Amino acid sequence: MDLNSFLTSLGTSFIIFVVLMLLFSWLSSKPSNNVVYYPNRILKGLEPCEGPRSRNPFTWIREAVTSTEADVISMSGVDTAVYFVFLSTVLGILVLSGLVLLPALVPVAATDDSVGLTQTTGNGNFSSLEKLSMGNVKAKSPRLWAFVIGTYWVSFVTLYMLWKAYKHVSELRAAALMAPHVKPEQFAILVRDIPPVSEGQTRKEQVDSYFKMIHPDTFYRSMVVTDNKEVNKIWEELEGYRKKLARAEAIFAESKTTGKPEGTRPTNRVGFLGLIGKKVDTINYCNEKINELIPKLESEQKLTLKEKQQAAAIVFFNRRLAAASAAQSLHAQMLDTWTVTEAPEPRQVIWSNLKMKFYDRQIRQDIVYVIVALTIFFYMIPIGFISALTTLKNLRKLLPFLKPIVNQNAIKTVLEAYLPQIALIVFLALLPKFLLILSKAEGIPSESHAVRAASGKYFYFTVLNVFIGVTVGGTLFQTFKDIEKHPNNIVSLLGTGLPGNATFFLTFVALKFFVGYGLELSRLVPLVMYHLKRRFLCKTEAELKEAWAPGDLGYATRVPSDMLIIIIVLCYSVIAPIIIPFGVLYFGLGWLILRNQALKVYVPSYESYGRMWPHVHSRILAALIIYQITMLGYFAVKKFFYTPILIPLPVLSLMFGFVCSKKFYKSFQSTPLEVACRELKETPNMESIFRAYIPPCLSSDKVDDGEQFEDALSTQVSRTGSFV
Amino acid sequence: MDLNSFLTSLGTSFIIFVVLMLLFSWLSSKPSNNVVYYPNRILKGLEPCEGPRSRNPFTWIREAVTSTEADVISMSGVDTAVYFVFLSTVLGILVLSGLVLLPALVPVAATDDSVGLTQTTGNGNFSSLEKLSMGNVKAKSPRLWAFVIGTYWVSFVTLYMLWKAYKHVSELRAAALMAPHVKPEQFAILVRDIPPVSEGQTRKEQVDSYFKMIHPDTFYRSMVVTDNKEVNKIWEELEGYRKKLARAEAIFAESKTTGKPEGTRPTNRVGFLGLIGKKVDTINYCNEKINELIPKLESEQKLTLKEKQQAAAIVFFNRRLAAASAAQSLHAQMLDTWTVTEAPEPRQVIWSNLKMKFYDRQIRQDIVYVIVALTIFFYMIPIGFISALTTLKNLRKLLPFLKPIVNQNAIKTVLEAYLPQIALIVFLALLPKFLLILSKAEGIPSESHAVRAASGKYFYFTVLNVFIGVTVGGTLFQTFKDIEKHPNNIVSLLGTGLPGNATFFLTFVALKFFVGYGLELSRLVPLVMYHLKRRFLCKTEAELKEAWAPGDLGYATRVPSDMLIIIIVLCYSVIAPIIIPFGVLYFGLGWLILRNQALKVYVPSYESYGRMWPHVHSRILAALIIYQITMLGYFAVKKFFYTPILIPLPVLSLMFGFVCSKKFYKSFQSTPLEVACRELKETPNMESIFRAYIPPCLSSDKVDDGEQFEDALSTQVSRTGSFV
């Protein structure tokens, strides 16, 4: 790829971005679009915009930049704040690296003209961009010392920023957990693998007596987990009819106002998808169905609570400290029974996973790992194929009917710039859902944990497939015979393979950030969807609200792709420092746009108090180590005599990772007592804490349902003790 | 080595053993030797022997066999009982294996005469012993199927016995920890890495306020660890003079009875080692010194408690459950501060290690690992050398002046049998102390933990040096060029190298068990030492008691050498099943003799409630995996087509290890709450629990020393709460 097509790609992307940004300014100023551009503020009961609605298209930038971390936490939670710590850490690393590397290394590389055209390893054409890179420095040159210093500088900057960030996130997490608000999950623990009930005892008695014995003063109550599949089905059916009824009534009311005062009663067919079968009056039909289902639901609820108890329970304590301490202590002598963990938030419990047994979970995990490994392996094939098709020349050869189109100059340039990137992006978009399903199948008890697990898998996939796959794949076609001879020499392979693909990745990054973030900011797709739904589908308020529900920031899929950019930028940072500004732009723009989205649009669907950070941290560190090893390889390729001077770097990174994990990691797994012992603002209402964990399909409309839960949920202990 | 020299070695060993056993029967029946043969019983205030002292030399065998595990626990503690579980587990593995392998495989091997003399890999002579081994079966023979089944049988037997044993030990440990007796260590936790004291606060206040905040109801008191080096020196000096005084007074009293009624006052010189300097009256001199040292000690004690406080403390709780729970919970947000662990027993605390900081300990551990690795590596050289000298032929060549002696037939046979083994044993005897010192330097807080760490290092040493060193070394001289060509092929190296050295190891085992256990049982060395000391040295009761103090069973050094035998026997079990009876004899005899010693002789110096077992377990499992890999290699050498049928075995072993560690391991690290919540027989006396941890050099003779400790030890909290 030459400079021309690269600049074309960059230019088009930038124009798309500017158009989208202007579109955003215009659209977001219309009050009718408020629910699309300010849903988070509306749901929190705030005014969509502070101050007068100005036509200035840069107001949102000012608002994003001036917002504090505390604003983010209050609007979007700790997890989102941690995501911004991630973005600003990476931004800091790149800015600090760039400030030194760009003015220092680019002139050193550009003025060394000794390398001829024959030595380049690019995609065929020697571009002027590559003249600014380390590839332009001749082998064994003393100029390489400058690059060695650069390598050290980037490493130290990264480690310093990571250390600062880990400390900061750790404090954020502690502050959030210390907060004097009552959070139900801080009073509960999750108990799994309860051994079989002994003769003449109910599950509830078993759990209660066990925890009363061990925690006589602090045990409050327990809730045995039940198999809610049946009852959930009935409940969902009931809810469906209720929605349908509300909709039918709204339609009926609407029909009254216009023309006919008596209105037209809506009808529907009872058969398959409402297309066939008897025609009935919808309102009557739904009322009938609802009256039919309510007793069915109640009897099923009773049956579930009585008969479908599982070997898991949520146990409540009357103090935060007691729960935090209990969640960290071994309870049973045999460790595969009575396993305890901190309870997840009520809204993110994956109920159906709680009942899974210890070894069942283990085996499922192993199977999932195998499936993921296979997926990663088999995705290699299509991606390798695409990498081979990258060049238009190949495409023309394979698909000769495209020739007349492809030969046109403008189309040719665009295609050459975008084709492989688009293929990559489509591939990557398919995956996250699949990985999340796999992660949930492992038996993980909470949504946020499943999302972290999926994110981890996605990271491996990304790195292995995109980075190494494309690099090695691209190199494969050039140096296939070399690899045949020395299959072990992966380090030198990375060293030779990477520089050649620098411009490919540069385009990839450019496309990704301009177009991706432009779409993110302008929310074109949700906007169109919302207006379509409002016009043609939504009849009731609830339906309308559902139509503009903004959803989650979705950091699980954001982090791995950001991580890919980090790896790419880090690896090229010294080889071709010109990539750093692109990285800075990507993360700077990302920070700005997502800050806006976090404050105004997205509503977090759960809170894990920054548990994502250790994963992010270790992956940035992994990126750093990949970078260091790549540099080792590249210096070796350059036949630099003092290459071993870089060996301490990966060792240092590993040591740093070890120290960080020792110092910070465990407090992300469980709550330190120092944190849990802080006093609460108010005496916790244990009853409401307990109720927070009752799944909606089991909660009854009746006020007095204490009786109903007697079977699976233990009755309240008379003395509640002192509250901390 | 031929059959002749092997039988000679075996015979001599056996005769030595019988002589030693008869000697034991005779010597132990003399009441004057009771303190040598029954010290444990005497110290526990029991009669030396139950029933009439019979002259039957086999009474001790009957007593050992009929003793129960409960007897062992009550006489010698859980750790010793766990050591017997180890012995009987291995015995069970070998007996069950032997019962199937011996009648099945020996005939299969012996009747296959097709392998000629040329193919043998022994030490030169083809012995009739090797005719009974797998080496006698020709390559690709279908007879090898029998050996495959044998390999599976041994593996399954081992896994089954290990599972049973782990479960049993886990129950033993739980039972001991549940026992209703008050154990000070169950009420305390060890806190290390306390952060620097803030301005205007003493260390004691800092610790007390921190734990009062977190555990308001259960915190009892704390004891800040002090640097006792100085005070300990003075205390030891004082104790020395007290002993000397008692001795001088005894000598003086003795001199009175004989002849002169006024007696002779003993004198000594004050200079170097009592050899030079002024001659003084010992009694007066000692009294003077003691009176001089007592105030010095007291002022130093005060100084130590006030000024030499360290960043570590022992914190006491008024319930077992609270201590067990606190020891398992994270306390501080930053994990390298306020690290908590279960407190070791008072008698095994290594005070000087407690003050070491978190990263200091980590760095020390790394350095120690490097030193151990270097030791293992450099010991390879002399052992390899010995292995080369093994054959007398070489010896004659190298040391020609030995020729006349060596050529005599009897000496030749004995030398040939023993020479290499003795060299090995001497080498191995040098090491344990060195490793223990290294382990203590890691900053481990308790003796038992240090001993376990040393034992682990010794195991690596043993396996790497003796087993692989000798095997590979022995093979080295035969197939040096083969290894040069294929240095990676360690599996096939094990396969070819092992069988050739079978008889060498057989002799090693025989020598070890007959002579070693004979000496153990007869206690000849302690007996002679005791009688010499009694006659010539001991003057006071205390000195006499010191002279017969039996010491510890010392499982730290026993386990690694037993483990070596296990590896050897397991590895040869299928290749040469004839080794199994020797293994059975070794462990059977060991069980019998050590049972006698545990019940009557040794006094455990600490109790870790079976914490050794997980280490032992994983090492037996490692031995099993080494065996399985060896078999894979050996079948491959035999060109057996279905060799891959053995690949599931090591995989299975690894999975088994994983399941065991998940199910049992963590309850060996910390006390499960289920165990700690059992009720006590009596209300614990917290004052005496606290006092148990005061090191002797800091405890004062005065009754009312509560005042004195005020500086470093927190005052008692007024309310003691309820006791569990």
Tens-digit pLDDT profile for residues B150-185: 999 999 999 999 999 999 999 999 999 988 888 888
Residue A185 lies in a domain: no
pLDDT for residue A61 is more than 70: yes
* Residues B243 and B389 placed together within one structural domain of the fold: no
Closest by Cβ to B331, choosing from A214, A332, A674: A674
Q: Would you state the pLDDT for residue A285?
A: 84
Among B559, B584, B363, B361, CA closest to B461: B559
**Residue from the list B170, B330, B662 with its beta carbon closest to the beta carbon of A673:** B330
| Nearest Cβ partner for B663 among A336, A663, A677 | A336
Q: Which two tokens stand for residue B572?
A: 């040869």
Taking the CA of residue B78 and the nearest CA in chain A, the distance in Å comes to 17
Q: What is the dihedral of CA B282, B288, B289, B290, to 10 degrees?
A: 110
Interface of B with A (CB under 8 A): 170-171, 174, 210, 213-214, 217, 321, 324-326, 328-336, 338, 358-359, 362, 659, 662-667, 670-675, 677
Residues A133 and A254 reside in one and the same domain: no
Interface-testing mutation among A177, A317, A319, A334, with chain B (most B C-beta atoms within 10 A): A334
- For residue A279, what are the domain limits? 231-301
- Contact B335/A666, CB-based, under 8 Å? yes
Handedness of CA B233, B238, B244, B250 (dihedral sign): negative
Question: Would you state the pLDDT for residue B376?
Answer: 77
> Which residue from B210, B329, B663 is facing A329, i.e. has the nearest CB?
B329
How confident is the prediction for chain A on average, in pLDDT? 79
Structure tokens at A260: 């006919």
Q: Do B333 and A174 touch (CB under 8 A)?
A: yes
| pLDDT over 70 (residue B703) | no
Cβ-Cβ contacts under 8 Å, B315 against chain A: none
**Most confidently modeled range among A270-279, B152-161, B552-561:** B152-161
Contact between A333 and B667 using a beta-carbon 8 Å cutoff: yes
Q: Which of A509, A661, A677 is nearest to A588 (CA)?
A: A509
* Greatest Cα pair distance in chain B: 93
Q: Model confidence at A351, in pLDDT bands (50, 70, 90)? A: confident
Q: Inter-chain contact A331–B672, Cβ cutoff 8 Å?
A: yes
- Cβ separation A662–B324 shorter than 8 A: no
CA-based nearest distance A627→chain B, Å: 26
Q: pLDDT class for A400, splitting at 50, 70, 90?
A: low
pLDDT of B605: 85
* Calpha distance B214→A674 (Å, rounded): 6
**A171, A174, A329 ranked by CB distance to B328: nearest:** A329
Question: What would the mean pLDDT of B44-60 be, rounded to a whole number?
Answer: 68
Question: Which residue in B170, B328, B330 is closest to A330 by CB distance?
Answer: B328
- Pair A386, A496 in one domain: yes
Distance CA A43, CA B507 (A): 84
Could you give the percent of chain A with pLDDT greater than 70?
Answer: 76
Whether residues B110 and B172 fall in one domain: yes
Give the pLDDT of residue A113.
Answer: 63
Same domain, B148 and B295: no
Contact present, A327 and B656 (Cβ < 8 Å): no
* Count of structural domains within chain B: 2
Q: Do the Cβ atoms of B330 and A663 come within 8 Å?
A: no
Per-residue confidence (pLDDT) for residue A717, from 0 to 100: 41
In this predicted structure, the answer to whether residue A117 has a pLDDT above a threshold of 50 is no
* Least CB–CB distance from A325: residue in B329, B664, B671: B329
- List the single residue in A with minimal CA-CA distance to B366: A655
Residue of B66 and B414 predicted with greater confidence: B66
pLDDT higher than 90, residue A482:
no
Query: What percentage of chain B carries pLDDT values higher than 90?
Result: 13
Q: Closest residue of B to A209, CA-based?
A: B674
- Choose one of A646, A670, A685: the last residue of a domain: A646
CB atoms within 10 A of CB A438: 20
pLDDT at A160: 96
Q: Is residue A605 part of a domain?
A: yes
The pLDDT value recorded for residue A97 is 93
- Confidence band, pLDDT 50/70/90 cuts, at residue A617: very high
CB B83 within 8 A of CB B555: yes
B594 and B458 in a single domain? The answer is yes
Are both A416 and A546 inside the same structural domain? yes
Q: Provide the pLDDT for residue A560.
A: 81
Strands A188-192 and A339-342: antiparallel
Q: What is the distance between the alpha carbons of residues B325 and A527, in angstroms, rounded to a whole number?
A: 54
Q: How confident is the model at residue B397 (pLDDT cuts 50, 70, 90)?
A: low
Contact B354, B445 (CB under 8 A): yes
Chain A's closest residue to B336, CA to CA, is A663
CB-based contacts of B85, cutoff 8 Å, min separation 6: B165, B168, B169, B172, B613
| pLDDT (tens digit per residue) in B634-673 | 888 888 888 888 889 999 999 999 989 888 888 888 888 8
Q: Which residue has the higher pLDDT, A424 or B16?
A: B16
**Residue A664 belongs to some domain of the structure:** no
Q: What is the C-alpha separation between A619 and A122, in angstroms, rounded?
A: 29
Domain ends where: A266, A284, A301? A301
How many other CB atoms sit within 10 Å of the CB of residue A361? 18
A170–B664 C-beta distance less than 8 A: no
Nearest beta carbon to residue B666 from set A217, A321, A335: A335
What's the token pair of residue B491? 């599996």
Segment among A359-368, B222-231, B263-272, B710-719 with least mean pLDDT: B710-719
Euclidean distance between CA atoms A42 and A572, whole angstroms: 43
Residue A332 falls inside a structural domain: no
pLDDT higher than threshold 70 for residue A81? yes
User: Which range is least confidently modeled, B137-151, B154-168, B547-561?
Assistant: B547-561
Contact between B335 and A674 using a beta-carbon 8 Å cutoff? no
- Structure confidence at residue A481 (pLDDT): 42
Chain B positions in Cβ-Cβ contact with residue A324 (cut-off 8 Å) = 329
Is A636 exposed, middle or buried (CB count within 10 Å of its CB: 0-12, 13-18, 19+)? middle
- Determine the Cα–Cα distance for residues B119 and B138; give it in Å rounded to an integer: 10
The pLDDT value recorded for residue A723 is 38
Q: Which residues of B touch A213 (CB under 8 A)?
A: 677
Q: Give yes or no: residues A171 and A256 share one domain.
A: no
ipTM: 0.77
B/e letters for A321-347, b = 16+ CB within 10 Å, e = fewer, are bbbbbbbbbbbbbbbbbbbbbbbbbbe
CB contact under 8 Å between A330 and B667, yes or no, is yes
Residues of chain A in contact with residue B333, where contact means CB-CB under 8 angstroms, are: 170-171, 174, 667, 672, 674-675
The pLDDT value recorded for residue B470 is 56
Q: Which residue of B has its CA nearest to A178?
A: B333
Shared-domain flag, residues B254 and B403: no
Q: What percent of chain A has pLDDT over 90?
A: 13
With CA atoms as reference, the chain A residue closest to B669 would be A330
- A143 and A287 belong to one structural domain: no
At residue A649, the pLDDT reads 93
Q: Residues B595-618: pLDDT tens digits?
A: 988 888 888 888 888 899 999 999
Tokens linked to B333: 């947000």
Identify the pLDDT of residue B484: 43
Q: Answer whether residue B323 is part of any domain.
A: no
Rounded mean pLDDT, A64-70 = 88
Cβ distance A578 to A527 under 8 Å? no
Q: Do B662 and A362 touch (CB under 8 A)?
A: yes
Query: Residue B311 and residue B140: Cα distance in Å, rounded?
Result: 67
The C-alpha of B592 sits at a distance from chain A's nearest C-alpha, in angstroms, of 31
Q: Order of strands across the sheet with A188-192?
A: A219-226, A309-317, A188-192, A339-342
Among partner residues B171, B358, B673, which is closest to A330 by beta-carbon distance?
A: B673
Positive/negative CA dihedral, A707, A710, A713, A714: positive
Q: How many CB atoms lie within 10 A of CB B70?
A: 9
Cβ contact B673–A217 (<8 Å): no
Q: Mutate which of B674, B679, B722, B724 to disrupt the A interface (most A C-beta within 10 Å)? A: B674
Contacts of residue B452, Cβ cutoff 8 Å, sequence gap at least 6: B556, B608, B611, B612, B615
**pLDDT tens column, A664-705:** 888 888 888 888 888 888 888 888 888 888 888 887 654 444
Task: Assess whether pLDDT exceeds 90 at residue A170.
Answer: yes
Q: Looking at the structure, do residues A611 and A545 belong to the same domain, yes or no?
A: yes
What would the 3-class secondary structure string for B348-360 be?
A: HECHHHHCCCHHH
Check A335 against B663: CB less than 8 A apart: yes
A651 falls within a domain: no
Are A24 and A524 in contact by the 8 Å Cβ rule? The answer is: no
pLDDT at B203: 87
- pLDDT computed for residue B670 by the predictor: 86
pLDDT at position A13: 81
Size of interface A-B (CB pairs under 8 A): 102
How many Å lie between the alpha carbon of A374 and the closest alpha carbon of chain B?
Answer: 20
Residues A516 and A640 in one domain: yes
Residue B686 pLDDT greater than 90, yes or no: no
For range A77-91, the mean pLDDT: 93
Put simply, the answer to whether A174 touches B321 (Cβ < 8 Å) is: no
Supply the mean pLDDT for chain B: 79
Contacts of A232 (CB under 8 A, 6+ apart): A695, A697
Of A689, A701, A572, A622, nearest to A297 by C-alpha is A701
Is A32 domain-assigned?
yes
**Cα–Cα nearest to B553, from B627, B483, B605, B511:** B605
Which of A646, A678, A713 is a domain's end point? Answer: A646
CA distance B246 to chain A (A): 51
- Measured CB to CB, residues of chain A less than 8 Å from chain B are 170-171, 174, 210, 213-214, 217, 321, 324-326, 328-336, 338, 358-359, 362, 659, 662-667, 670-675, 677
Does the pLDDT at position B396 exceed 80?
Answer: no
Contact between B11 and B419 under an 8 Å Cβ cutoff? The reply is no
Residue A701 lies in a domain: no
What is residue A422's predicted lDDT score, i.e. its pLDDT? 63
Nearest alpha carbon to residue B520 among B594, B461, B573: B594
